[in-house]
Amino acid sequence: MLKNPVKLGSSVAIFIILFSSSFLAFSSVSVSKVCAQDTEYDYYGYVPAKIYDYNLTDANNVTSGWRLDTGSIAKAGLVAITGIEDDTHVEVYRLDNGSLVSEATIGSMEKYYVVFKNGTFFRVVTNKLASVLLLNYESIPLDYGSLTSYPLPFTFYYDVNGAYVGKEFILMAVQFDIYLQYTIFALEKAEVTVTREDGDIQPYSIEANAWKRLIWEPFRTYKIESTGNIMIHAGNIDTTTFFVPCTEGGFVGKTFFTLSRNDWDTRESYGFRVSAAQDAKITVWNLETKQQILTADVQAGSGFGFKPQAPAIVVQSDQPVTLEYVHNGSLENIDGAGMYSAYGSGVAYIGVKPGEDTPFYLPVDSYVEAYIFASEETDISLDGNDWTIRANSYYLITQPGTHIMRGNRKLVIEVLNWPFEPEYQGLQYEGVQIPSIQAVDVVPDVSLTPLGESFPITYVVIGVAATAIGGLAVLQFFRGRRKK
């Protein structure tokens, strides 16, 4: 089932409509028209059609009516491509008709940008692995240095090999430069060197099972090198949904590191959620105190939601599971009062390895669109039903709740969610890294350091076998509100 995206009628980034081809590419590097490619990496995406936000007129009264936040309206998304290696050839296509939009050759730590209108499906192809971001803009001038606001990606970054755990990362920072928004988790004791594109070098020492929050400058490229395995995350824990990759590689696994928070609102419908395709027992650790927070049993085909009071956590499972931070999208708390600051939405990605059952959850108080992208013809099983996705195409899911899917080839899923209320509500997101579909099954080689007496040392090596799991259920989450 395919869906035609709805386009916004109002214009904020006026210059975009002047381009009949619906795109604008800009970069400081020259464009090359011919490039032989021995290896191909594909990155798929969709720019949300409705990027705006309606708020309650009275934040505490759900019957007070709605007003449009004019500052939230956006008419385009920015695809920002950063080279990891020299001589990286980039080709950007529209996915609907396969037409080539633009191409360029960039070096390591060099950047290339393409702007797409709302409601556009696109495909980026590179001959070497690159870092690709999808960002939201309220307006996008040609001179990106004159921007007055910067979208912050809520995402984990993959390393130079495509794994979410590694010792070398190259990425472009995007944020306000006054907030600690980037987090480095050390899975092992790590001496970390951060090199900015202009040669500025900052060293850090991080103990095993600790983390460091950093400020990086917007639209600057950084190389992060470490003596021990690390993970890198951008963003905080608020109303933006994102998936947490596991230390074993990909998103289905047994150990997860992530930020958390100490000040959860018990009435708001948000929090972490473990989804399982077979019966599992999980343990959640406070990464600051190295103490257990809770243990829980998770039924096959269902999930378990929790709000751990800790600045950062480790989640361990005795069976492969997925971990997601999710906001269900409700603007009404359990007492029936409204709170527009409880608006939950986002754009998130999760990869699916061939032959591996992957459980994932779509918020239940939201409109949801989950686009399953395939780079080659792929047979999928979704909740017990079978379909075939053509090469360079997608399948759309709009049903909230828990889903379990398997494919005979690699897949990438882009998840969009935004509140049901009002029915004409829009989606707000800031940014996310797009994984290459060819790299979704890359597995790192890492050993974990024990947190406590009962925290096992887990050795993860290349070639970990896929798990066989199944089942389906829907789990309702928390309800409530949170003040911004």
pLDDT tens across 252-263, in order? 999 999 999 999
Q: Is 416 found in the same domain as 283?
A: yes
Last residue of a domain, one of 124, 149, 174: 149
Global pTM? Answer: 0.85
Q: What is the pLDDT of residue 472?
A: 27
* 261, 244 contact by CB (below 8 A): no
Of 311-325, 418-432, 452-466, minimum mean pLDDT range: 452-466
Query: For 110-114, 149-153, 454-458, which range has the lowest pLDDT when averaged over its residues?
Result: 454-458
Same domain (yes/no): 144, 267 = no
Check whether residue 245 and residue 101 sit in a common domain.
Answer: no
Q: Which pLDDT does position 176 carry in this prediction?
A: 63
Residue 202, domain member (yes or no): no
Residue 483, in any domain of the structure: yes
Check pLDDT > 90 for residue 314. Answer: yes
Question: Do 437 and 291 fall into the same domain?
Answer: yes
Q: Residue 457 pLDDT more than 60? A: no
pLDDT score of 7: 31
Contacts of 477 (CB under 8 A, 6+ apart): 269, 270, 271, 273, 305, 326, 328, 363, 364
Q: Are residues 274 and 419 in the same domain?
A: yes
Which structural domain range is residue 138 located in? 1-149
pLDDT interval class at 304 (50, 70, 90): very high
On whether both 27 and 140 belong to a single domain, the answer is yes
User: Residue range 417-442: average pLDDT?
Assistant: 92
The residue out of 110, 132, 149 marking a domain boundary is 149
388 in a domain, yes or no? yes
Asked which of 73-77, 199-203, 217-221, 446-450 is least confident by mean pLDDT, the reply is 446-450
Task: Report the pLDDT value the prediction gives residue 6, as an integer from 0 to 100.
Answer: 32
Same domain, 131 and 31: yes
Give the span between the Cα atoms of 360 and 375, in whole angstroms. Answer: 21
Same domain? For 242 and 96 the reply is no
**Same-domain status, 131 and 274:** no
Whether residue 379 is contained in a domain is answered as: yes
Confidence category of residue 90, pLDDT binned at 50, 70, 90:
very high
Is residue 60 situated within a structural domain?
Answer: yes
Check whether 308 has a pLDDT greater than 90.
Answer: yes
Of the chain, the percentage scoring pLDDT greater than 90 comes to 62
Q: Which residues of 167-199 are buried (b: 16+ CB within 10 A; e: fewer)?
A: bebbbbbbbeeeeebbbbbbbbebebebbbbee
Each residue of 107-131: pLDDT tens digit? 999 999 999 999 999 999 999 999 9
For 73-77, 125-129, 205-209, which range has the lowest pLDDT when averaged over its residues?
Answer: 73-77
pLDDT band (50, 70, 90) for residue 37: very low
What is the total count of domains within the chain?
2
Whether 217 is in a domain gets the answer no
The answer to which of 122-126, 370-374, 420-424 has the lowest mean pLDDT is 420-424
- Is the per-residue pLDDT at 144 higher than 60? no
Q: Is residue 303 part of a domain?
A: yes
**Residue 199, in any domain of the structure:** no
Q: For residue 394, give every residue at least 6 positions away whose Cβ sits within 8 Å of its Cβ, in sequence order, or none.
A: 2, 44, 95, 121, 371, 372, 373, 374
Q: Is the pLDDT of residue 162 over 90?
A: yes
CB 166 within 8 A of CB 252: no
pLDDT at 456: 47
Is a pLDDT exceeding 80 seen at residue 250? yes
Q: Mean pLDDT of all residues in the chain?
A: 83
Residue 305 and residue 419 in one domain:
yes
Do 251 and 111 share a domain, yes or no? Answer: no
